[in-house]
Amino acid sequence: MSNHKQSMHGKQQMGKEHQPMKHDMHAGHRKAGYDHHAHMVADFRRRFWVSVVLTVPILILSPLIQELLGIKDVIAFPGESYVLWSLSSAVFFYGGLPFLKGIFSELKSKSPGMMTLIALAITVAYAYSSAVVFGLTGKAFFWELATLIDVMLLGHWLEMKSIVGASSALEELAKLMPSEAHKLMADGRLKDVPIEELAVGDRIVVKPGEKIPADGKVVEGESSVNEAMLTGESKPVPKQAESRVIGGSVNGEGSITMEVQKTGEESYLSQMTNLVREAQESKSRSQNLADRAALWLTLIAISAGTITIILWLTVLNQDFTFSLERMVTVMVITCPHALGLAVPLVEYC
């Protein structure tokens, strides 16, 4: 019997020792996820503004824009096509890098989606336009390439920003818990202990104005508790013996003694945080719809481009250069600018 008691005591001590580690591990995961998304927001923002700045001279140097503005003869200079190509190359490789990386990830997981659609459009536009600059007869698509990348970067920047907003909300929820609790010892004295060391059955004293450190029930005293941050209840809730209290809520005017009933991952605040995180990480219906649409649009773009070049070559008897230009035009147009921007905006709003 004595050995059995020692064994049970050892398991309880082990549980208490591991509990802070588990808490720290989850906190570390939350912080790592927040830092990762914050880094992505900064990265998309930086790429967007750099690309926008480079897009301005690309637009000015594009023949179609020059004709529309009537400035073709005013700003024409030798080698302008190479300057246009250099600026567009910077936008393609710097601004388009996230999408070029994304296509490999999607194809590797055998789930082509938005990144595949975007990467296909900008790669076809850049490769064909570069060939035109270096001797192929046809029309370059540099301004279309640059504006497409700008729009996509803006959409993904807003999407990452919304995710960081949700992550910061989780961080604020975590801050609701106090760091220490006044534990009532067997001899009647109070000892300040980290909340990670609290166990079910422990009794703690919560003084007026302090945050309640764990879920449990009141065993002595009366007070009112502000639960607005947790439940949305605007008015303080009266508490007396046998009343339930939630960790993270704020005690009012009275001092209460409570018994701990839930700690760590079993607490109300922890479960609510996990639900928010799961909702944040799971795909919404609009995202799933967008992924399916992107897959079909990718297949349609490839099919439409293939059919176009075959028809122009065989049925309409046009030369390869002419047919190739039509194929590229169809593939670039088939990639919709709106889809890349609309879906993140839906999630953001």
Compute mean pLDDT per 10 residues along the chain, 349 residues long, and list them: 42 40 44 62 93 95 86 82 95 94 84 80 90 88 90 84 68 75 91 91 94 93 89 87 91 93 84 73 64 77 88 88 85 62 44
- Whole-structure pTM value: 0.63
Q: In three state form, how does the secondary structure of the chain look?
A: CHHHHHHHHHHHHHHHHHHHHHHHHHHHHHHHHHHHHHHHHHHHHHHHHHHHHHHHHHHHHCHHHHHHHCCHHHHCCCCHHHHHHHHHHHHHHHHCHHHHHHHHHHHHCCCCCHHHHHHHHHHHHHHHHHHHHCCCCCCCCHHHHHHHHHHHHHHHHHHHHHHHHHHHHHHHHHCCCCCEEEEECCCCCEEEEEHHHCCCCCEEEECCCCECCCEEEEEECCEEEECHHHHCCCCCEEECCCCEECCCCEECCCCEEEEEEECHHHCHHHHHHHHHHHHHHCCCHHHHHHHHHHHHHHHHHHHHHHHHHHHHHHHCCCCHHHHHHHHHHHHHHHCCHHHHHHHHHHHHC
pLDDT one-digit tens code per residue, 18-63: 444 344 444 444 454 456 667 888 899 999 999 999 999 999 999 8
The dihedrals phi and psi of 204, each to the nearest 5 degrees, come to -135, 155
Token pair 């701990």 in the structure block, residue: 260
- Quick one: CATH architecture of 180-265? Distorted Sandwich (2.70)
**pLDDT value of residue 16:** 40
pLDDT one-digit tens code per residue, 172-185: 666 778 889 999 99
Q: Where are the domains of the chain?
A: 26-173+283-348, 180-265
